[in-house]
Amino acid sequence: MIVSNRLPVDHVSGEGGTAEWRTSPGGLVAALEPVMRQRDGVWIGWPGLADQEFEPFEADGIDLIPVPLSAAEVEDYYEGFSNDTLWPLYHDVISPPSFHREWWEAYQRVNRRFADAALAVAAPNAIVWVHDYQLQLVPKMLRDARPDLIIGFFNHIPFPAYGIYSQLPWRRQIVDGLLGADVVGFQRVADGGNFARAVRRLRGYETRGNIISVPIDDAAAAIDGAAADADEPTAEAPMRHRSVGRRGHAIRTVLARPFPISIDAQEYQRLAADPSIRARAAEIREELGNPRVVMLGVDRLDYTKGIRHRMKAFGELLHDGAVSAEDVVLVQVASPSRERVDAYAQLRDEVEVMVSRINGDFSELGHPAIHYLHQGYPREEMVALYLAADIMLVTALRDGMNLVAKEYVASRTDQDGVLILSEFAGASDELRQALLVNPHDIDGLKAAIVQAMEMPRRERMRRMRTLRKRVLTHDVQRWSATFLDALTREDHHDPANRLD
């Protein structure tokens, strides 16, 4: 079972009162959807609309169980605690987080609802895989109610350094919530290290390598015992990952380690080979006026993505005369996101003022410097854009992974194209052949853009070949298989079996 805030499809109302289901935004759904398509199981999540109840249904071969949210809960749990407290806090306070007790109340209540929805359908010893920062209390809620369950948690976004995490007034409750899982997965080595440090500082539990020893208190043990007596199929389950700690009390072990997420690389390769998509890529270049260089940015319109930084660098290159709008264009796809959260509304204004200024100052008739698209597009159009782009700009200030970087690489079956990639995106741990940049260093960013524009074809292809090898061998199927293998093996607490 998958439990995530969003279902893979959103219920959206169209023109004239019509309604339809549309693919949900963001990296989480992009990564999990192909995984679930290949497996049996259910997906529990919110259908993206307030005050609407839906019966369980099937979409594209996946069984979905919708969890309803009221308008007040969308405000307090989703826009509030998830996206105005946790999101900015976990992304290194790029935007200041807000702390409100009513939001925390709603977060607990909604986490309980997701946990109850999972408990209502979980078979004995079921595997429940909980996802992302919106649902960090769910693992403990599941464990307290049903110790027979095998519980995994994956955090798609960064886990911050302790000095930042410790600002959270409910920092202990969140750590306890996560420690309800058997395996807690992170994107980067640093995220797992930050979590282990938070556990040591806030709870004093022993951590050795990737293994955290969590004492089992008497009350929890009593519940375990009762469950074992009462329910035949669960009789052995409470013993999972349990042993006696150094101080002589009962402990269970939690594995906390990185599992860098990826994409369905084969699917992007397949689309990139499709003649109609290749034709569309050529058409895009033509529509742009056949410039010498097409640069591309693709992001949710989010302040973590460094959209302003890349525009500043491009604007300065135009100002310096290093490039001209006739020669080089920037296409920026910025898909609408979390529009009712103030920081997002403000960012939209800032980006749009910047686009207008740069276009006003540097465009030539028929040649706008920046093509700004505040829209989402189907995957086919995205692959055509990737194929049309000579340079892909991923300049996130902080990003758990950034799947756009991997999508670009997987789509370049022609082995061409240059990826400029922020070292603050998780993807930079793996994609070392990209041009790695610090997006705060505008001069460095400008130099990387110039280097990309001037890079000889042989070097571009050499780098792209290495990048592609990495993405094609480390795809999302391998990611989920690795996570589920770690989750279901009985011996992860044994130091000899550590998966470092």
**Closer residue to ligand G6P (CB): 146 or 305:** 305
Whether the Cβ atoms of residue 407 and residue 448 lie closer than 8 Å to each other: no
Member of 2, 3, 27, 483 binding ligand G6P (CB under 6 A): 27
Q: How many residues bind ligand G6P (CB under 6 A)?
A: 12
Which among 23-31, 69-77, 243-251, 347-355 is the span making contact with ligand G6P, rule CB under 6 A?
Answer: 23-31
Q: Is 120 exposed, middle or buried (0-12, 13-18, 19+ CB in 10 A)?
A: exposed
Beta carbon nearer to ligand G6P, 5 or 411: 5
Residue 132 beta carbon to ligand G6P: minimum distance, rounded to whole angstroms: 4
- Give the HSE-up count for residue 499: Cα atoms under 13 Å, Cβ half-sphere: 20
Nearest distance in Å: CB 81, ligand G6P: 12
Under the binding rule (CB under 6 A), the answer on residue 341 touching ligand G6P is no
* Smallest separation (angstroms) from ligand G6P to the CB of 476: 14
Question: Quick one: which of 164, 154, 220 has its CA closest to 186?
Answer: 154
Interface with ligand G6P includes 402 (CB under 6 A)? no
- Residues 205-264 binding ligand G6P (CB under 6 A) are none
In the bound complex, what is the minimum distance in angstroms from residue 44's beta carbon to ligand G6P?
14
Shorter beta-carbon distance to ligand G6P: residue 27 or 180? 27
**Residue 401 or 445 with smaller CB distance to ligand G6P:** 401
Which one of residues 6, 240, 412, 493 is an interface residue with ligand G6P (CB under 6 A)? 6
Tell me: does residue 406 bind ligand G6P (CB under 6 A).
Answer: no
Q: Is there binding between residue 337 and ligand G6P (CB under 6 A)?
A: yes
Between 336 and 360, whose beta carbon lies closer to ligand G6P?
Answer: 336
Binding status of residue 338 toward ligand G6P by CB under 6 A: yes
Which span (26-34, 201-209, 349-357, 404-412) binds ligand G6P, by CB under 6 A? 26-34
Task: Report, in Å, the least distance between residue 83 CB and ligand G6P.
Answer: 6
Tokens, residue 64: 């979905």
Site for ligand G6P in 59-88 (CB under 6 A): 83
From candidates 1, 28, 271, 487, binder to ligand G6P by CB under 6 A: 28
Query: Which is nearer to ligand G6P, 83 or 428 (by Cβ)?
Result: 83
Min dist CB 30 to ligand G6P, Å, is 8
User: In the bound complex, which residue of the shown chain has the CB atom lying closest to ligand G6P?
Assistant: 26
CB of 6 to ligand G6P, least distance (A): 5
Say which amino acid occupies 107.
Y
Query: HEC states along the chain?
Result: CEEEEECCEEEEECHHHCEEEEECCCHHHHHHHHHHHCCCCEEEEECCCECCCCCCEEECCEEEEECCECHHHHHHHHHHHHHHHHHHHHCCCCCCCCCCHHHHHHHHHHHHHHHHHHHHHCCCCCEEEEECHHHCCHHHHHHHHCCCCEEEEECCCCCCCHHHHCCCCCHHHHHHHHCCCCEEEECCHHHHHHHHHHHHHHHCCCEECCEEEEECCHHHHHHHHHHHHHCHHHCCHHHCCEEECCCCCEEEEEEEEECCCCCCHHHHHHHHHCHHHHHHHHHHHHHCCCCCEEEEEEEECCCCCCHHHHHHHHHHHHHHCCCCCCCEEEEEEEECCCCCCHHHHHHHHHHHHHHHHHHHHHCECCECCEEEECCCCCHHHHHHHHHHCCEEEECCCCECCCHHHHHHHHHCCCCCCEEEEECCEHHHHCCCCCEEECCCCHHHHHHHHHHHHHCCHHHHHHHHHHHHHHHHHCCHHHHHHHHHHHHHCCCCCCHHHCCC
Residue 414: φ, ψ to 5°: -80, 5
Q: Does 132 bind ligand G6P (CB under 6 A)?
A: yes
Nearest Cα to Cα of residue 383 among 409, 416, 401, 402: 409
Residue whose CB is less far from ligand G6P, 75 or 390: 75
Considering the complex, state which of residue 259 and residue 362 has its C-beta at the smaller distance from ligand G6P: 259
Tokens of 29: 């759904």
Write down the least CB distance from residue 346 to ligand G6P, Å.
17
Choices 19-27, 33-41, 264-272, 369-377 (CB under 6 A): range interacting with ligand G6P: 19-27
Shortest distance (Å) from residue 8 CB to ligand G6P: 10
CB 440 within 8 A of CB 233: no
Whichever of 5 and 332 has its CB closer to ligand G6P, that residue is 5
Tell me, residue by residue from 107 to 126, as one string, x for binding to ligand G6P by CB under 6 A and - for no binding.
--------------------
Q: Nearer to ligand G6P by C-beta: 136 or 428?
A: 136
The Cα angle at residue 64 between residues 63 and 65, in degrees rounded to 5 = 130
Contacts of ligand G6P in 138-167 (CB under 6 A) = 156-157
Q: Are 377 and 281 a contacting pair, CB within 8 Å? A: no
- When the beta carbons of 241 and 338 are compared against ligand G6P, the nearer one is 338
Task: Give the nearer residue to ligand G6P in terms of CB position, either 131 or 309.
Answer: 131
Among 11, 12, 23, 25, binds ligand G6P (CB under 6 A): 25
Q: Which stretch binds ligand G6P (CB under 6 A): 25-33, 165-173, 249-257, 260-268?
A: 25-33
Residue ranges binding ligand G6P (CB under 6 A): 5-6, 25-28, 83, 132, 156-157, 337-338
